[in-house]
Structure 1
């Protein structure tokens, strides 16, 4: 499985109050699992994005599907692949 970080920005026009947003998270998690992903964790964050959703997925195609699925709920996403630091040190050793 590959790890991806979905950086999520809430569209304020879609969600007027926090209760609306909270009600969507369960459905988002269900969609991710239905598409073959596994939600590792979800964080509310300060900065350019409102949430970080960490998911494990089998391949890039599923990561794309998950990103598109999240956007259906009026949540803007930037999805990036994450590599563990241990893997980076292996890659650097091979250079």
Structure 2
């Protein structure tokens, strides 16, 4: 199953404090699972973005659906397929 990394930003003003975000996190995880995505790790970021999600999805369509599902909570995701460094040689061989 491909791995995806999503850098996410929470809409300003929708949540008053970190506890508000934590309160919806179970719902976000459940919505990802409904899209056949398995959340592997999640991190709060310091700096220009708010959250980093690492998840597995059956394909890019499922990853896109997960991003759309997160939008319902005011979470804007930029999702990227993540390729393990160990697989870099395979990509070079394909060229």
Q: How does the TM-score come out when normalised to structure 2?
A: 0.92
CA–CA separation in structure 2 for the residues paired with 1:77 and 1:94: 30
Deviation at 1:94, TM superposition (A): 4.2
Q: What does 1:31-42 correspond to in 2, within 5 Å?
A: 31-42=31-42
Give the 3-state SS of the residue equivalent to 2:29 in structure 1.
helix
Structure 1 outlier segments of 4+, above 2 Å:
none
Q: Spell out the pairing of 1:41-56 with structure 2 (5 A cutoff).
A: 41-56=41-56
1:62-92 per-residue CA deviation (whole Å, 9 max, x = no partner) reads: 0000000001101111111100001112222
Partner of 2:87: 87
Q: Which residue of 1 aligns with 2:73?
A: 73
Count of aligned pairs: 95
Q: CA deviation at 1:93?
A: 3.7
User: How far apart, in 2, do the equivalents of 1:17 and 1:45 lie?
Assistant: 15
Query: Partners of 2:7 and 2:49 in 1: how far apart?
Result: 6
What runs of 5+ residues in structure 1 fail to find an aligned partner?
none
